[in-house]
């Protein structure tokens, strides 16, 4: 069944001029881009988006990183989009991510890992609504 997930191209990948390469991989993997925009999150927005991690030791650093430059947010559609996008991204730590995955090819470490993906259908719905209104879906 077709589903949607939220992808974010993170500030490290934008700064390194990898935005186009990552979008091409998304398209080559068979995702449809239903919505997309570039924005720069405020600290309040990043804290809210990552609220589930607020007790973790890396929270402040993560918020600092995610607000250090613009991000590109995308609503991706495919069969099993949530799992398929996480597979294409690779594991969280870019140092462990195999070559051929986005995090393996474009990320640096456990924090600067090039992209975000929702971890469940439920969270995908919440995260898509965080960034996109109904009018923004094509
Ligand atoms: P995920 O992005 O693969 O779902 P999460 O555990 O949800 O991984 O962590 C959210 C983000 O927080 C990661 O993508 C990464 O940027 C950052 N992060 C996760 N674990 C660490 C860590 O141990 N140190 C620093 N940053 C981390
Ligand atoms: Mg996560």
CATH code of the domain covering residue 101:
3.30.70.141
Total number of domains constituting the chain: 1
- State how far the Cα of 126 lies from the Cα of 119, in Å rounded to an integer: 11
Please work out whether the CB of residue 62 comes within 6 Å of at least one atom of ligand 1: yes
- Residues sharing a CB contact under 8 Å with residue 33, sequence separation 6 or more, in sequence order: 23, 26, 27, 74, 75, 76, 77
pLDDT in tens, 18-28: 999 999 999 99
Give me 56's structure tokens.
Answer: 């973790």
Res 85 pLDDT > 90: yes
pTM: 0.98
pLDDT-derived band at 11, boundaries 50, 70, 90: very high
The torsion angles phi and psi of 32, rounded to 5 degrees, stand at -95, 130
Helix (H, G, I), strand (E, B) or coil at 68: coil
Rg, the chain, Cα only: 14
Predicted pLDDT of residue 1: 74
The answer to whether 64 is a known catalytic residue is no
Q: Residue 14 sits in which domain range?
A: 2-137
pLDDT in tens, 87-118: 999 999 999 999 999 999 999 999 999 999 99
Residue owning the nearest CA to atom 13 of ligand 1: 111
Give me 60's structure tokens.
Answer: 């402040």
């Amino acid at each position: 069944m077709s589903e949607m997930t939220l992808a974010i191209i993170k500030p490290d990948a934008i700064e390194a001029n990898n935005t186009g390469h990552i979008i091409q991989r998304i398209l080559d993997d068979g995702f449809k881009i239903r919505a997309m925009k570039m924005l720069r999150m405020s600290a309040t927005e990043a804290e809210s988006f990552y609220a589930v991690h607020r007790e973790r030791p890396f929270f402040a650093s993560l918020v600092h990183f995610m607000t250090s430059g613009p991000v590109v947010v995308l609503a991706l559609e495919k069969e099993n989009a949530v799992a398929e996008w996480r597979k294409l991204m690779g594991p969280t730590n870019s140092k462990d991510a195999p070559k051929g995955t986005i995090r393996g090819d474009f990320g640096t470490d456990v924090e600067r890992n090039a992209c975000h993906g929702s971890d469940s259908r439920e969270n995908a719905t919440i995260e898509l609504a965080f960034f996109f209104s109904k009018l923004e879906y094509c």
